[in-house]
Structure 1
Amino acid sequence: MQCTNCNRRGHTVRFCKTLARPSAQVPNTGVGQACYGCGEVGHYKRNCPKAGIAGGVGRVLAIGHEEAVDDPIVVTCTFLLDNSYACILFDSGAEKSFVNQKFAHLLKQKPRALDESFTVGMANGKTESTNCIYVGCTLTLDGHTFKIDLMPVPIKSFDVIIGMDWLSYHRADIMCFEKAVRLNLPNSETLVIYGDKPSTNLRIISCIQAQKCLRKEYHAFLTHIVDTSQEVKDIQNISEVRDFPDIFPEELPGLPPQRQVEFKIDLVPGATPVAKSPYRLAPAEMQELSSKLNELLKKGFIRPSFSPWGAPVLFVKKKDGSFRMCIDYRELNKLTIKNRYPLPRIDDLFDQLQGANYFSKIDLRSGYHQLRVLEEDVPKTAFRTRYGHYEFVVMPFGLTNAPAVFMDLMNRVCRPYLDQFVIVFIDDILIYSRSKEEHSQHLRRVLETLRSEKLYAKFSKCEFWIRRVKFLGHVVSEEGIHVDPSKIKAIENWFIQNFSRIAKPLTTLTQKGVAFDWEEKQERAFQTLKRALCTAPILSLPEGIEDFVVYCDASNQGLGCVLMQRGKVIAYALRQLKTHEVNYTTHDLELGAVVFALKICRH
């Protein structure tokens, strides 16, 4: 028994481990080496380039170049094919080897016609047909030449795809982890071809390491990191806004005019002035205090004081690392009669947004400083510092009645537009419209009102002509209302499925006479609530006043209800059972759920 491939005894050609010679390199030795498949001489049937071609159907699992670089089962590289550089993909998912039709004209060989067309199934599910083949193309891999037969097909990402016909012929091994192909050469040597590797090896190095690399004459490039997340807004890019540049100054022009509302501080009967010693401040805070006092004096917002009142100053660090000056008016607030002017309910405000598609949000610049303090109450705002005793002429931050008074002012200013196309919450103004034409008119009318009232806004914090707006801790769009991801803590009052049951181990700890023991069930409930709060559902905005349906239910732990309109969820509500309600019968609990639901959804 003698092998006809290596001419050695002891095995047949079927089990020969010697690399078979390419067809172009196998000499014609007569009829004994004729192919039983195609009848030609110079190769055997198992190495026939036309085997399975005529009338056959093949497949090529071609992928994009970027995907191939990251795919561990394929290897990509660039080598010479007939003295032309070609981008090559070693793909074990391709049955044959293929060449891009656009690259095929660079090959030196002429295409040979096939007896029948060959159909190729592409990766995108489509099929392509070819009726020719390029036989004996020269492929140069790391200085070694190989012969390869290629079929032209329309490939987008590569010039050549080497498939299983060539890989199995040369007994190639694809080493996935190393992104390499190993070939066994006829002289018992092994050729390893390393492919392109993903560019995930980039890492940050220190300045010392960089200097060492430069001393070794490594190639270096100077790069710059640019934050492109936020575009620079320009007032000239918004047609409605460019006509009102005076509303968006860099700084407030000075003392505000006399308005229909002034800030007044009414004290409880028998109150006497309170003065506290200044707090100890760090050197950086002292420097910031001096700078802030000079700024406020220059604008006329504060003035030297001889008042018997005096509150201390403290500083709070902002997100950007700078300091915000705050006056500790807690003692004054204790003696102040509270202003009961109502702030609007947030859910009532959102009800006005039904059908809105376009939004603009205006944020007033230092809104409190645009309202004067009643002259007789100016001494009560006095504060004490190392640099002197001062009092505010404009409304300062930190006073208990400041939000209510400013809300009163903004309601009077925007009264003609409220519940039509404007929502006001303290110093935030939201303009909403159904169409572009309406929004252009609404925006101009609001800007004209601000100009006539001499109210000023901060352009960098304003947003115009947007389809999704962040307002009062929520994101509002034509799709509905959902939680602002940046303020996930603001959703605690919204519906969380099974909230009562999940939170029961936590709420039990707050009951009178119960020891505060934090055990595994409390920790589990706490973690479950955190996950639930971060995945709160999206609520739809109501459309009109019809087709509302209320669903309610009761259990032995709580009451719950859902308000829906035409299959969309508008609102959820639920609460735990009170102590006496635990003893209710089933029908009493169900009736209690109905009463609870109607109280919540009565509007």
Structure 2
Amino acid sequence: MDQCFAKQKSEARNKNNVNFCVENKDTPKSDVVVAVIQGVPVDVLIDSGSTISLISSALLKHFDCAHKPSFRILRGLGSQELETTSYVTLPIEFDGLTLEVDLFVVESKFMNTPIIVGTDVLNREGVQYVRTRDSQSLTRKATNCERVMAIQSDKSISVNTPLTGDQLQRLLDIINKFSEYFISGTATSTVNAGCMTIRLTSDTPISYRPYRMSHNEILRVREIINDLVSKGIIRESESDYASPILLVKKKDGSDRMCVDFRKLNEVTVKDRFPLPRIDDYTDRLGHNRYFTSLDMATGFHQIPVSEGSIPLTAFVTPEGHFEYLKMPYGLANTPVVYQRSISKTLRKFIDSGDVHVYIDDVLILSRTIDLGFHLLHQVLTALTEAGFSINLKKCSFLTEEIEYLGRKISQGQVRPSPSKVKALVESPEPKNVKQVRQFLGLASYFRRYIPNFAQRSACITALTKKGVEFNWGKEQQAARNDLIERLTDEPVLAVYDPSLPIEVHTDASSVGYGAILLQVHDGGHRRVL
């Protein structure tokens, strides 16, 4: 799904699109049978041209069932498109055969029959629908629907939330209100809260020939370039600057085009706007119980590049010379410029402590569900007015446990993220000093969770000193295993509570020194912060 939900919905409305329509009265009638749901007889259209099953919103009011969030774009004749935001699971009785069916909810005005059963049911093992000239296995009833166009499920996007019932519907209503800005794929809108300006310490142009690539790589780069041009992110260039590109494999095996801006970054004046300290954020969680995380969609490509800086972003491929109109990945100041832009947009929420922002990750904190809804609506209003787009697939709404910036947060506790711990556990045994530094860098990310970290890692750290011969022996391996074991025991830190007293515990030795903060809770129980 390359377009946002609201745009697709708007296009459909402008064309008077519907998914169910009378096309020709001479067309053979579709198959309608009478089935029973929760004791209520209903007309069910059996449609072998539909890949999913549907229910009208009007009929749904008569049944006791829970809505489950799922965004889908339904496509009918001529690629007509219709949005559905939830589905229900109901038992349908067909002449003694009872099936649990997932039914996607559609507005009644688009439905000529209250329920459509598609091939998701007809193709189930053990389910058979037979109709001949004289008989059929299900009772058929006349209908005024001459023909129902084939409905196909496009991409499905689940909404990550534990909410149910009225609370879920309230959330879906908010998402629908801002649906134009919930997108999948590359954002094409432009943010009005910031701009990328590049200042250099040298006027000498940085220009390179393109790196050599295989034929298949050249074809892939051509596809990526055409896509970026069509979305207004880049354009052809005549700049004196020309940084080279390379293709990098993503985790899923697809290719990412990266511009090698290293030489440009060496002469770039660094932007000193501060990035937040992650530990400071975890210390400010307080008594908040509900968390909503928003992930900005291809955020860097939404920030415009100033006219004078556009030529500096120029790059070369084996087939052309291009430059960025929107902020590219890989520039020295890209994260900082984005942080400034989104911090400016959400300043009042950041200052009140209701929102934490780290580059393109936004976390909304609340003590109650109602406050969470209120803040979500206000934050979405601020973000969308500034032009930010949001990746719905990576968002979580009003959960009591959430992973944020490598931490797992819940009920006043902070744990290291399992994915981060897994990366440390699966890291290979270091074979040289560079790999030792990599291991220590990853392990240091968790130093707050490991008592006496400096002491425990001292024999490994010693290998990074100048003049020390590299020798990874039993002592180093034992220290590595000890650090990993401490983390896999699921260490827990408490969230700072400003209303409780604080104790500082210190220790020192010839190897190092350190301190920890504790707070005294009810009953004298001390918890490490």
Common fold by TM > 0.5: yes
- Counterpart residue type for residue 569 of structure 1: R
- 298-307 vs 491-500, which deviates more? 491-500
- Equivalent of residue 375 in structure 1, options 303, 307, 324: 307
| Contact 1:540–1:568, Cα closer than 8 Å, also in 2 | no
| Contact 2:290–2:400, Cα closer than 8 Å, also in 1 | yes
| Contact 1:360–1:431, Cα closer than 8 Å, also in 2 | yes
Query: Equivalent residue of 2:390, what SS?
Result: coil
Distance, in Å, in 2 between the alignment partners of 1:405 and 1:452 is: 18
Query: Equivalent residue of 2:308, what SS?
Result: helix
Distance, in Å, in 2 between the alignment partners of 1:232 and 1:344 is: 30
Q: Give the C-alpha shift of residue 254 in structure 1.
A: 3.3
**Identical-residue share of aligned pairs (%):** 34
- Equivalent of residue 332 in structure 1, options 251, 264, 267: 264
Q: Give the C-alpha shift of residue 255 in structure 1.
A: 4.8
Distance, in Å, in 1 between the alignment partners of 2:449 and 2:227 is: 46
Q: Cα deviations across residues 327-355 of structure 1 (Å, max 9, x unaligned)? A: 10001000101111110111111122111
Matched, 1:362 2:294: yes
- Equivalent of residue 539 in structure 1, options 493, 513, 518: 493
Unaligned runs of 5+ in 2: 1-123, 127-155, 161-167, 425-441
Match of 1:453 in 2: 386
Q: Give the C-alpha shift of residue 231 in structure 1.
A: 8.5
Distance, in Å, in 2 between the alignment partners of 1:503 and 1:556 is: 14
Query: Equivalent residue of 1:464, what SS?
Result: strand
Matched, 1:485 2:418: yes
Matched, 1:549 2:503: yes
Query: Equivalent residue of 1:550, what SS?
Result: strand
- Equivalent of residue 395 in structure 2, options 452, 462, 466: 462
The change in CA–CA distance for 1:316 and 1:252 in structure 2 (over 3 A counts) is closer
| Contact 1:271–1:335, Cα closer than 8 Å, also in 2 | no
Match of 1:415 in 2: 347
| Contact 1:562–1:569, Cα closer than 8 Å, also in 2 | no
Distance, in Å, in 1 between the alignment partners of 2:212 and 2:446 is: 37
- Mapping of residues 126-275 of structure 1, within 5 Å: 232-233=158-159, 238-251=172-185, 254-256=188-190, 259-268=192-201, 270-275=202-207
Distance, in Å, in 1 between the alignment partners of 2:325 and 2:416 is: 39
Q: Give the C-alpha shift of residue 464 in structure 1.
A: 0.8
Distance, in Å, in 1 between the alignment partners of 2:450 and 2:500 is: 26
Unaligned runs of 5+ in 1: 1-220, 224-229, 572-603
| Contact 2:193–2:386, Cα closer than 8 Å, also in 1 | no
- Equivalent of residue 443 in structure 1, options 376, 396, 406: 376
- Counterpart residue type for residue 478 of structure 1: Q
The change in CA–CA distance for 1:440 and 1:281 in structure 2 (over 3 A counts) is same
Distance, in Å, in 2 between the alignment partners of 1:533 and 1:465 is: 28
Distance, in Å, in 2 between the alignment partners of 1:410 and 1:371 is: 10
Query: Equivalent residue of 2:217, what SS?
Result: helix
- Equivalent of residue 364 in structure 2, options 431, 453, 471: 431
- Counterpart residue type for residue 323 of structure 2: E
Distance, in Å, in 1 between the alignment partners of 2:452 and 2:505 is: 15
Select the structure of larger CA radius of gyration.
1
Query: Equivalent residue of 1:438, what SS?
Result: helix
Match of 2:404 in 1: 471
Q: Cα deviations across residues 32-75 of structure 1 (Å, max 9, x unaligned)? A: xxxxxxxxxxxxxxxxxxxxxxxxxxxxxxxxxxxxxxxxxxxx
Match of 1:298 in 2: 230
Q: Give the C-alpha shift of residue 536 in structure 1.
A: 5.3
Q: Cα deviations across residues 511-549 of structure 1 (Å, max 9, x unaligned)? A: 333222232222222232232343352101011244111
Matched, 1:569 2:523: no
Q: Give the C-alpha shift of residue 429 in structure 1.
A: 0.7
- Counterpart residue type for residue 179 of structure 2: P
Query: Equivalent residue of 2:309, what SS?
Result: helix
Q: Give the C-alpha shift of residue 299 in structure 1.
A: 0.9
Query: Equivalent residue of 1:397, what SS?
Result: coil
The change in CA–CA distance for 1:284 and 1:360 in structure 2 (over 3 A counts) is farther
Matched, 1:404 2:336: yes
- Counterpart residue type for residue 527 of structure 1: N
The change in CA–CA distance for 1:527 and 1:369 in structure 2 (over 3 A counts) is same
Q: Give the C-alpha shift of residue 553 in structure 1.
A: 2.3
- Counterpart residue type for residue 539 of structure 1: L
Matched, 1:321 2:253: yes
- Counterpart residue type for residue 173 of structure 2: S
| Contact 2:212–2:318, Cα closer than 8 Å, also in 1 | no
Distance, in Å, in 2 between the alignment partners of 1:348 and 1:514 is: 36
Query: Equivalent residue of 1:316, what SS?
Result: strand
Match of 2:459 in 1: 505
RMSD, matched Cα = 2.3
| Contact 2:187–2:297, Cα closer than 8 Å, also in 1 | no
The change in CA–CA distance for 1:312 and 1:553 in structure 2 (over 3 A counts) is same
Query: Equivalent residue of 2:495, what SS?
Result: coil
Matched, 1:307 2:250: no
Distance, in Å, in 1 between the alignment partners of 2:157 and 2:467 is: 57
Distance, in Å, in 1 between the alignment partners of 2:270 and 2:513 is: 35
Match of 2:139 in 1: none
Q: Give the C-alpha shift of residue 325 in structure 1.
A: 1.2
Distance, in Å, in 2 between the alignment partners of 1:251 and 1:502 is: 45
Q: Cα deviations across residues 218-243 of structure 1 (Å, max 9, x unaligned)? A: xxx989xxxxxx98339976332222
Q: Give the C-alpha shift of residue 361 in structure 1.
A: 0.7
- Counterpart residue type for residue 370 of structure 2: E
- Counterpart residue type for residue 172 of structure 2: I
Distance, in Å, in 1 between the alignment partners of 2:483 and 2:268 is: 39
**Paired residues, what number?**
343
- 479-488 vs 396-405, which deviates more? 479-488
| Contact 1:542–1:570, Cα closer than 8 Å, also in 2 | no
Query: Equivalent residue of 1:403, what SS?
Result: helix
The change in CA–CA distance for 1:525 and 1:420 in structure 2 (over 3 A counts) is closer
The change in CA–CA distance for 1:376 and 1:531 in structure 2 (over 3 A counts) is same
Distance, in Å, in 2 between the alignment partners of 1:253 and 1:501 is: 48
Distance, in Å, in 2 between the alignment partners of 1:453 and 1:546 is: 39
Match of 1:342 in 2: 274
